[in-house]
């Protein structure tokens, strides 16, 4: 590791220009001369666990009675010698050493607690996923559910980054007022709650995410001016890039060049999407913002690449991502199934239709390895970002045909700085709340002061 004699760069150094602010990746030059890496503030920041929470709506085909017998979600074997080949988790095989599958936990807070709540599962489940609390039935502003798992982590460990957390979605989640069965749309529009009464809005447009990460500098007028030009956001901070690059060692120059190249490539992808969607050609998603790709896969990968750059620059360490919308009619032809998503989830327990829904589940899961590979490929300090990231993927619904919340799908990926071991399938005792898993993860992430979460009954043996 190289050092800059007598001086160092702060981990919080920002490249600033007209309507632009860009954080730096971790550089060797951020280590003060003569000091051990592990003792520096940069090292401590770099070692803070990144957290990503992903909701797959409508549960999984493997949570149906027949689907479970065919191991369409979880493998038959517990322990370390599990076989993913029959399951929708098969795309995760290259990362099995980073994979922890947790089967048979319940999200009973999404159940109907009173006769007037019957039928409202779709409008409770999303709110329950990361809160494991029962939403108050209301169509007004008097919302109440619980502070979500990701935001409890943010409150303790996410306040020293420029953006404490970001909430992303792939489908439209900006409805207002009441949705159905007496529930406000806010309950199904977000998975992140800063407090029991404060839902956090989710961003669907990759351009809006990019602007939050890199376009926060200057005045609103300056940002608007920048967006009306054909220049890259990097052009507005070119002077600062040149200045800081001149004082770096060769290895740090290479890191900085690769980082800025990745920003530019991502910016160009967004620009191409906007140009295509503004061309007047018929769109598959005519209601979507101009920056949203019609392709589900392209959209998800863009969101993952934005998260990667945010982690590299330490702009934020916490993301939540909602892959779909409850009761969505979207079709995923790339999965090999042309039945709309909501209809496919109501498979009537017919075997061929359960298998079709399992294909959609597998297609959704197949997006995750792209992100895991990108995280693994980026070295930071003495390890890679996958070793420092905890990704949680699941749903508070189980059998979508019955709208039940018993034995829900859930897996963890990444090293999480040792939070999980990986390479294991754990089957919980029947009746175990999913909240127990989240409480245990909070403890392992450092939030040991939290003694209860949602409807937890204790900790979970990971």
Percent with pLDDT over 70 in the chain: 90
Q: In this predicted structure, what is the pLDDT of residue 453?
A: 98
Domains with residue ranges and CATH for the chain: 1-46+220-291 (no CATH), 53-204+299-462 (3.40.720)
> What distance in Å separates the CA atoms of residue 194 and residue 221, rounded to the nearest whole number?
30
**Helix or strand (DSSP H, E) at 108:** none
Here the tokens at position 379 are 């070295």
Cα(344)–Cα(131) distance, integer angstroms: 27
Burial 250-261 (b: 16+ CB within 10 A, else e): eebbebbeebbe
Span 42-84, pLDDT tens digits: 556 667 899 999 999 999 999 999 999 999 999 999 999 999 9
**Residue-wise pLDDT tens digits, 331-342:** 999 999 999 999
Return all residues near 348 (Cβ < 8 A) that are at least 6 apart: 401
Q: Is the pTM of this model over 0.85?
A: yes
Question: Are 140 and 184 a contacting pair, CB within 8 Å?
Answer: yes
The model's pLDDT over 191-238, given as tens digits with 9 standing for 90+, comes to 999 999 999 999 999 999 999 998 766 666 666 666 666 668 888 788
State the distance between the two ends of the chain, measured CA to CA, in whole angstroms.
36
């Amino acid at each position: 590791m190289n050092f800059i004699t007598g001086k160092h760069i702060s981990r919080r150094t920002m490249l600033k220009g007209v309507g632009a602010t860009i954080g730096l990746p971790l550089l060797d030059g951020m280590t003060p001369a003569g000091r051990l890496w592990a003792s520096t503030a940069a090292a401590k920041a770099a070692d803070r666990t990144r957290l990503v929470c992903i909701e797959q709506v409508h549960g999984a085909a493997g949570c149906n009675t027949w689907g479970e017998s065919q191991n369409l979600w979880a493998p038959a074997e517990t322990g370390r010698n599990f076989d993913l080949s029959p399951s929708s988790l098969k795309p995760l095989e290259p990362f099995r050493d980073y994979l922890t599958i947790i089967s048979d936990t319940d999200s009973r807070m999404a159940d109907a607690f009173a006769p007037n709540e019957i039928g409202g599962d779709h409008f409770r489940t999303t709110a329950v996923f990361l809160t494991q609390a029962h939403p108050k039935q209301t169509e007004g502003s008097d919302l109440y559910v619980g502070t979500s798992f990701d935001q409890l982590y943010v409150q303790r460990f996410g306040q020293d980054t420029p953006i404490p957390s970001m909430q992303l979605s792939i489908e439209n989640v900006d409805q207002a007022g009441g949705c159905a069965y007496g529930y406000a749309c806010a309950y199904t529009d977000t998975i992140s709650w800063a407090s029991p009464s404060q839902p956090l809005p989710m961003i669907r447009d990759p351009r809006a995410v990019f602007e939050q990460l890199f376009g926060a500098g200057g005045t609103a007028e300056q940002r608007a001016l920048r967006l009306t030009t054909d220049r890259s956001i990097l052009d507005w901070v070119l002077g600062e890039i040149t200045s800081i690059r001149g004082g770096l060692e060769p290895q740090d120059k290479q890191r900085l060049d690769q980082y800025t190249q990745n920003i530019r490539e991502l910016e160009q992808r967004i620009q191409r999407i906007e140009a295509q969607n503004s061309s007047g050609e018929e769109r598959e998603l005519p209601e979507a913002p101009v920056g949203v790709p019609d392709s589900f896969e392209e959209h998800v990968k863009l969101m993952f690449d934005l998260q990667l750059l945010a982690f590299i620059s330490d702009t934020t360490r916490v993301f939540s991502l909602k892959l779909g919308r409850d009761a969505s009619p979207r079709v995923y032809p790339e999965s090999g199934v042309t039945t709309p998503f909501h209809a496919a989830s109501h498979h009537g327990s017919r075997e061929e239709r359960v298998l079709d829904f399992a294909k959609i589940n597998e297609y959704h899961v197949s997006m995750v390895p792209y992100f895991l590979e990108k995280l693994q490929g980026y070295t930071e300090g003495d390890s890679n970002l996958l070793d420092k990231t905890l990704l949680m993927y699941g749903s508070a619904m189980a059998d979508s045909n019955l709208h039940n919340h018993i034995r829900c799908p859930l897996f963890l990926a990444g090293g999480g700085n040792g939070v999980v071991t990986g390479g294991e399938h754990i089957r919980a005792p029947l009746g175990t709340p999913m909240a127990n898993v989240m409480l245990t993860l909070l403890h392992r992430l450092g939030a040991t002061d939290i003694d209860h979460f949602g409807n937890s009954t204790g900790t979970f043996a990971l």
